Amino acid sequence: MNRGKKLFAFLLAAVMILAMGMTGFAANGKPQASDRADVTITGITGDPTVTLYQIARANYGPGDRELVDYTWAAGVTFANEQAPTADEINAAAKGLTGGTITPLATMSGTLTGETYTANVPAGVYIAVLTGAADGSVYNPVLLAATYGEEGNVVVDNPKQVNAGDAYLFGMTAVLKKTTPDVDKTITGGTVEDDGRDTVGIGSVVDYQVEMTMPSYPANAANKTLFLTDRLTAGLTFDYSTLTVTVEGQTVTRTGDTFILNGKVIATAAEKDNGFNLNFNYDNLVSNAAGAVYTPIVTYSAVVNDTAVVGAAGNPNDVTYYYANEPNTGNTWDEVTEEPDEAPGVTSKKDQETVYTYQLAFQKTDAETDKPLADAVFGIYSDADCTQLIDKVMTNQEGYAVSTKVAKGTYYIKELVAPTGYSLNTTVYPIEASWKTATTTVTGSVTNAQYTTQKPSDDAVQVGWIKDGRYYSMAAVAEEEAAAGGYQAAYLTAQSTTTSTVTTVTENGAGSGTALLGDEIPNTQMHALPSTGGMGTVLFTVGGIVIMAAAAVLFFLSRRKTDR
C-alpha cells in the first residue's frame, strides 16, 4: 500500500509539473518577471527564417496582485493597443526590419514542421517570416503572452492581475500567407502528339499565362508584380496580340498601357522576341478588404522556318517576379528591365514547348537505284494534292526534306522529274509523328521564300503574308484574311537539302524526322542516238531512201493518170 501511495504521489506531481510547463504559471498567484509562456505560429511552409521581435514588456509593481504597466518600443503606435490594425502591425514590422524601430528584445524559437514555438516572458511580439523556399509571402504576425486572457492581446495600462488570473497564457496565431505561382498553357494552334504540342511552319500558337496573386499589406514598401516572357528564334512573337483579361473582361489596351476602371493596371514593353509586363498592385485591389484581381495574359506567336526539329523543340519561358518580402526594398518601377536582382523580390518560372517535325525521302533510278538529284516534289496536306504546303528538291544523294509539318499524314507528289527521266505520277502518303520517326538528317536546309506576287499562272497559293510574316492556310481562314489585310503567299523557291542522311535507325522516336519507307523511283526515258554517231548516219540514209521511194511512187502514179 505504501509503495502504491508513493507511486500515485509521484505521478500526480509529474502531471502538475507538465501542466505548469504547458500553460505558464505564476507561483503562489503572484505575477513576476520569471513567468513565461509559449507563443505559437501554425501553418508555416517553405522553411522560412522566423524573427520574433518584442515590442512591449511587462513592468511588475509591488504587491502580490498588481501588474503595473507595459513599456512599448519607441516608434510603435497602435490606436487601440488591444486591437491593432493590419496596417499598424505592418508599419511596426517595417520599422523593425528597416532599422527605424529598435525592439526591446529579439527572441529565438524553434520551427518544427509547420509550427513555430518560442517560450517568452509577458509582453507583445511581432514575428517576421522571410526567405521561404517555396516563395510564400507572409504578413507580419502579432503575438502576445498575457495574464488571465488565454492568449488574447490584452495590454491595459495599468493591468490589475488577480490571484486567480495569475497564469501567463501564450497566444497561438494562424498565418496569413500567399504562395504566388505562374502557370503557362498553350490554348490553340497545335496538334497533340503523345502529350506534345506539334506545329508546322506558319502555324499560329496561342498562349495563356495565369498568376497566383500575393496578398500585400496596404502600406507594404515593396509590391513588385512583374511578368516577362521570352520566345526562342523558331517562334516569332506578335506584340499586337498581347491581351490582359480580368474576371472574363478584356482590359482596355492603349499602346503599351492596360486600363481597368480608369486605372492603369499594367505597362508593357516589347523586348527580345517577347514582352515585359509591370503590374500596378494597388490598382488591382478590388475592394476595401484588400481582395486582388487575378489578371490573365494571352498572346500569340507564329512558327517560322528556323524552328528546331525534333526532341529539343521550341520552348518559351515565362518568369513571374514578385515581392516575397514586402517590407524589403521598394516596388519595381521599370518596365524595360527585369527586377532579377531587386531586394526582397523572388521569381517563379514556367515553360511551354512546341515541336515541329520533318519528312525525308529519297529519289532513285528505277533500274540501278542510283540517287537522282534535282527532282522537285510538292508536299500536300490532303490526298487530292490540292493543299500545297511545301516544295522540295532532291540533293546529290537523292534526298529531300520538308520541315513544315506537324503530326499528321502528308502526301508527296513529284512535280518535276530529273532530266532524262519520266514523271512519277504516284502519290506517296507519309506519317509524321513522334513515335514513328525513323531517321536522322544532319546538315542544313535552304529555307523557302514567299511572295505576294503570283509567279506564274499555274502557281498555287500556299499560305498568307501579313506584316512580313508567313502564315499557313490552316492558321488563317479566308474570311479572317480578307478582313485582316492578309495577302496570298506563293512559293518563289523550293527548299533544297544540302546534306546527306548520315544515320538511319528504326523506331528513332524523338528525332522528329519521318523517312518514307520506300524509295521514289523514276524510269529513264528511251535513249536517243548521239549527234554525229553511226545512229545518226543510218537514220539519215534511211530517211533519204524512204523519201526517194515516195518520189518514185508519186511519179509512177502521175504517169498512169496521164494515160
pLDDT value of position 537: 43
pLDDT value of position 475: 85
Residue 509 has pLDDT above 70, yes or no: no
| Percentage of the chain lying above the pLDDT 70 cut | 76
pLDDT value of position 23: 43
Confidence of residue 68 (pLDDT cuts 50, 70, 90): low
- Tell me the CA distances in angstroms from 56 to 35, 70, 83, 96, 146, one per residue in order: 15, 6, 14, 13, 11
Average pLDDT of span 304-331: 91
Confidence of residue 405 (pLDDT cuts 50, 70, 90): confident
Q: Which of these, 380, 402, 413, lies nearest to 514 by C-alpha position? A: 402
Q: What is the pLDDT of residues 249-264, one digit of tens each?
A: 999 999 999 999 999 9
Strands, E, within 288-387: which ranges? Answer: 295-303, 314-323, 345-355, 357-365, 376-380
pLDDT value of position 60: 80
Q: What is the pLDDT of residues 467-493, one digit of tens each?
A: 888 888 888 888 999 998 999 988 776
| Bridge pairing between strands 225-231 and 314-323 | antiparallel
| Interatomic CA distance for residues 303 and 463, integer angstroms | 13
pLDDT value of position 251: 95
pLDDT value of position 139: 92
Higher pLDDT, 64 or 120: 120
Higher pLDDT, 334 or 447: 334
Residue 552 has pLDDT above 90, yes or no: no
Residue 463 has pLDDT above 50, yes or no: yes
| Bridge pairing between strands 181-188 and 204-212 | antiparallel
Average pLDDT of span 390-416: 87
Residue 432 has pLDDT above 60, yes or no: yes
pLDDT value of position 10: 31
> Which residues, in sequence order, are bridge partners of residue 182?
211
pLDDT value of position 399: 82
pLDDT value of position 400: 84
Q: Which of these, 72, 174, 197, lies nearest to 114 by C-alpha position? A: 174
Write the CATH number of the domain with boundaries 181-354.
2.60.40.740
Residue 20 has pLDDT above 70, yes or no: no
pLDDT value of position 308: 86
Average pLDDT of span 51-64: 83
Q: What is the pLDDT of residues 201-237, one digit of tens each?
A: 899 999 999 999 999 999 999 999 999 999 999 999 9
- Other beta carbons within 10 angstroms of residue 516's beta carbon come to 18
pLDDT value of position 275: 98
Q: Which of these, 360, 389, 387, 362, lies nearest to 512 by C-alpha position? A: 360
Angle (CA) 411 414 416, round 5°: 150
Higher pLDDT, 133 or 442: 133
Residue 557 has pLDDT above 80, yes or no: no
Higher pLDDT, 543 or 190: 190
Confidence of residue 7 (pLDDT cuts 50, 70, 90): very low
> 92: which residues sit within 8 A by CB, 6+ positions away?
55, 75, 76, 77, 101, 126, 140
Q: What is the pLDDT of residues 115-131, one digit of tens each?
A: 999 999 989 999 999 99
Q: Which set of grid coordinates corresponds to residue 154? A: 490584452
- Tell me the CA distances in angstroms from 415 to 268, 375, 400, one per residue in order: 48, 8, 13
Residue 434 has pLDDT above 60, yes or no: yes
Q: Which of these, 173, 189, 79, lies nearest to 117 by C-alpha position? A: 173
Residue 518 has pLDDT above 50, yes or no: yes
Q: Which set of grid coordinates corresponds to residue 303? A: 512558327
Exposure of 228 in the CB half-sphere (CA atoms within 13 A): 19
Hey, which CATH number is domain 23-178, 1.10.287, 1.10.3470, 2.60.40, 2.60.120?
2.60.40
pLDDT value of position 3: 42
pLDDT value of position 164: 56
Residue 183 has pLDDT above 50, yes or no: yes
Q: What is the mean pLDDT of the chain?
A: 82
Average pLDDT of span 376-401: 88
Q: Which CATH architecture fits 357-448+494-522? A: Sandwich (2.60)
